[in-house]
């Protein structure tokens, strides 16, 4: 396909694919992958400034939301947006950075709880406006109805 002087109208034009996709499901899947790569790459750059990965940021938000009581490591893994195969190692890195701490549960000494530190809370407070601004920059051109529909469709794609 020759280069065009206009903005691409679809994924096929955007990637210069000459032939049609094998099926609509393939095109939708590749659109998801390309969209994720573009949006996530910007967040990866932001988090890198703070020596964090996207999964570490996600885990830190989960721990912060758990409050003063803390949260079990396995519960963090269950709540991650994108599953991390080694939540324990991810938490180890956050502990080493001083962003979270581990304590034994008073009720069940076998249970380890992860809690956020003051340093972790401060980091989230510093990141919050930039994360919110990036969300608006990336998706603010869509109106509330479009965003709700997009969220609904993506949820339905994961839960047939």
Residue range 127-149, pLDDT digits in tens: 999 999 999 999 999 999 999 99
User: What are φ and ψ of residue 116, in 5° steps?
Assistant: -85, 145
Please give the pLDDT value at position 1.
47
pLDDT for residue 150 is more than 90: yes
Would you say residue 45 lies in a domain?
yes
Indicate whether 2 belongs to any domain: no
**pTM for the whole thing?**
0.85
> Does 91 fall in a domain?
yes
- Domain total of the chain: 1
Q: What is the pLDDT of residue 107?
A: 75
Decide if 30 contacts 11 (C-beta within 8 A). yes
Asked, for residue 25, whether it belongs to a domain, the answer is yes
Q: How many residues does the chain have?
A: 160
CB atoms within 10 A of CB 76: 23
Classify residue 1: in a domain, yes or no: no
Residue 96 lies in a domain: yes
72-114 pLDDT per residue, tens: 988 999 999 988 778 989 999 999 999 999 988 777 777 889 9
pLDDT score of 2 more than 70? no
User: Can you give the CATH number for the domain in which 94 is found?
Assistant: 1.10.10.10
Average pLDDT taken over every residue of the chain = 91
Please indicate, yes or no, if residue 3 is contained in any of the structural domains.
no
Identify whether 16 is part of a domain: no
Give the number of other Cβ atoms within 10 Å of residue 66's Cβ.
Answer: 18
End-to-end CA distance of the chain: 35
């Amino acid at each position: 396909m020759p280069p065009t002087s206009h903005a691409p109208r679809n994924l096929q034009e955007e990637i210069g694919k000459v032939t049609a996709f094998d099926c609509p499901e393939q095109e939708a899947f590749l659109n998801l992958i390309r969209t994720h790569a573009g949006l996530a790459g910007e967040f990866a750059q932001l988090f890198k400034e703070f020596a964090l990965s996207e999964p570490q940021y996600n885990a830190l938000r989960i721990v912060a939301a758990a409050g003063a009581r803390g949260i079990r490591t396995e519960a963090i893994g269950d709540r991650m947006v994108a599953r991390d195969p080694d939540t324990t190692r991810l938490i180890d890195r956050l502990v080493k950075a001083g962003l979270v701490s581990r304590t034994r549960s008073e009720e069940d000494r076998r249970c380890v709880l992860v809690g956020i530190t003051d340093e972790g809370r401060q980091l989230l407070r510093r990141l919050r406006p930039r994360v919110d601004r990036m969300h608006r920059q990336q998706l603010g051109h869509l109106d509330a109805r479009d965003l709700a529909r997009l969220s609904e469709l993506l949820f339905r794609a994961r839960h047939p």
